[in-house]
């Protein structure tokens, strides 16, 4: 459904790698809702991914920027303001990468150079980006900045590895910078804590299939898809959410407030019964 929620708004969208990316869906929905925007990604991702397809489809230009480089971010913001013909109304930070995860290093045995790189890409980049936007006074009043996060920032998910720490930092930056952006520029800053979603970044997490199936069974509404995440993001970019700021907003079908669901309990009890009742019986028969 189209509502013209972003008619006349201008934005920057980070992180569309391929059609599975959450940022890709946000770009498609933002286009449908009448926005104009610039797409950006790391130079290497532009070579590997299919972003030019998205650019063509949405009438956007692509400006490469490594989110760990202040120079790239400054050039990006200058060019985006020039290209779009004015200040920015919305920004999506949809960036995440852990070298420890990629290299299969266990959380207890990290290579700290990898840890630093992952933190720089996934978390500090959000501070860098907001700092550039703030110093250049590049955001319009009542603009909206959103970053994507995951619940491992609050609760233990062992295989999420050092990304859990990166997300905790990212969420904290949203609050801390969000205060100054709200007070000085009337711009809101929020994070959306999304369900596990089958994308390139998601599939990199060890045991991701189990992860996604467990969350699906635990959530009363089931996992939120990438497209549903895009819809929610659009609402945060729209004028309908002007006073929502400094929030970490769970978009997860209810998962974050669950203790246990009947579906999880039933499958647990099936295994439990096998282990504690049926197995001893089988042994007795031998
Ligand atoms: P994705 O792999 O499609 O997107 C990650 C993006 O980060 C890619 O486009 C990649 O090129 C970009 N990136 C990596 N290094 C960069 C750099 N140095 N500079 C600029 N961009 C860089 O995966 P997905 O899932 O769409 O990820 C988007 C966001 O959503 C990430 O922050 C991720 O942690 C978050 N998220 C994903 C979940 C999932 O299960 N897929 C769940 C909750 C949050």
- Atom nearest to 192 CA in ligand 1: 44
Q: For the chain, what's the residue count?
A: 286
The model's pLDDT over 272-285, given as tens digits with 9 standing for 90+, comes to 887 777 666 665 65
Lowest model confidence (mean pLDDT) among 65-69, 121-125, 211-215: 211-215
Q: Which residues line ligand 1 at a C-beta cut-off of 6 Å?
A: 14-15, 17, 21-23, 41-42, 45, 66-68, 94-97, 121, 148-150, 194, 196-197, 199-202
Through-space distance between the first and last CA atoms of the chain, rounded to whole angstroms: 63
- DSSP codes, 232-277: HHHHHHSGGGTT--S-EEEESTTGGG-S--HHHHHHHHHHHHIIII
* Whole-number average pLDDT of the chain: 95
CA dihedral for 135, 40, 36, 4, sign (positive or negative): negative
**Which residue of 13, 16, 22, 164 sits with most ligand 1 atoms within 8 Å of its CB, as the best mutation to test the pocket?**
22
Annotated binding site: 15, 21-22, 95, 167
Q: How many beta carbons lie within 10 A of that of residue 66, not counting itself?
A: 19
- Atom nearest to 16 CA in ligand 1: 9
- 211-217 contacts: CB < 8 A, separation 24 or more? 211/157, 211/159, 214/264, 215/252, 215/253, 215/255, 217/261, 217/263, 217/264, 217/267
Sheet holding 188-194, edge to edge: 61-62, 36-40, 10-14, 88-93, 139-149, 188-194, 248-251
DSSP, res 179:
H
Question: Complex ipTM, two decimals?
Answer: 0.99
- Atom nearest to 17 CA in ligand 1: 9
pLDDT score for 203 = 87
Lowest model confidence (mean pLDDT) among 134-138, 168-172, 196-200, 219-223: 196-200
How far is residue 158's CA from residue 164's CA, in Å, rounded to a whole number? 9
The model's pLDDT over 89-116, given as tens digits with 9 standing for 90+, comes to 999 999 999 999 999 999 999 999 999 9
Pick the CATH number of 10-261 from 2.40.10.120, 3.30.450.20, 3.40.50.720, 1.10.3720.10: 3.40.50.720
What residue segments make up the domains of the chain, in order of their start? Answer: 10-261
The Cα-based distances of 128 to 6, 14, 19, 170 in angstroms read 26, 13, 27, 11
How far is residue 159's CA from residue 275's CA, in Å, rounded to a whole number? 26
């Amino acid at each position: 459904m189209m509502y013209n929620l972003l008619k006349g708004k201008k934005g920057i969208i980070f992180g569309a790698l391929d059609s599975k990316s959450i940022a890709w869906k946000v770009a498609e929905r933002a286009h449908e809702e009448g926005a104009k925007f610039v797409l950006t990604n790391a130079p290497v991702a532009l070579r590997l991914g299919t972003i030019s397809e998205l650019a063509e489809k949405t009438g956007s230009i692509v400006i490469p920027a490594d989110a760990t480089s202040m120079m790239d971010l400054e050039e990006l913001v200058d060019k985006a303001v020039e290209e779009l013909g004015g200040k920015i109304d919305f920004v999506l930070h949809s960036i995440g990468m852990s070298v420890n995860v990629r290299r299969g290093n266990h959380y207890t045995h990290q290579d700290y150079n990898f840890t630093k790189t992952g933190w720089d890409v996934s978390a500090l980049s959000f501070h860098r980006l907001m700092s550039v936007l703030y110093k250049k006074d590049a955001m319009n009043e009542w603009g909206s900045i959103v970053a994507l996060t995951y619940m491992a920032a609050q609760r233990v998910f062992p295989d999420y590895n050092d990304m859990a720490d990166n997300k905790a930092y990212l969420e904290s930056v949203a609050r801390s910078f969000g205060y100054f952006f709200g007070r000085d520029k009337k711009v809101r800053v929020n994070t959306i804590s999304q369900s596990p979603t089958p994308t390139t970044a998601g599939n990199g997490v060890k045991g991701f299939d189990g992860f996604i199936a467990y969350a699906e069974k635990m959530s009363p509404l089931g996992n939120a898809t990438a497209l549903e995440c895009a819809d929610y993001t659009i609402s945060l970019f729209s004028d309908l959410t002007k006073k929502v700021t400094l929030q970490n907003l769970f978009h997860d079908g209810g998962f974050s407030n669950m203790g246990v669901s009947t579906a999880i309990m039933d499958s647990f009890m099936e295994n439990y019964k096998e282990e504690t009742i049926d197995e001893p019986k089988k042994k007795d028969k031998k």
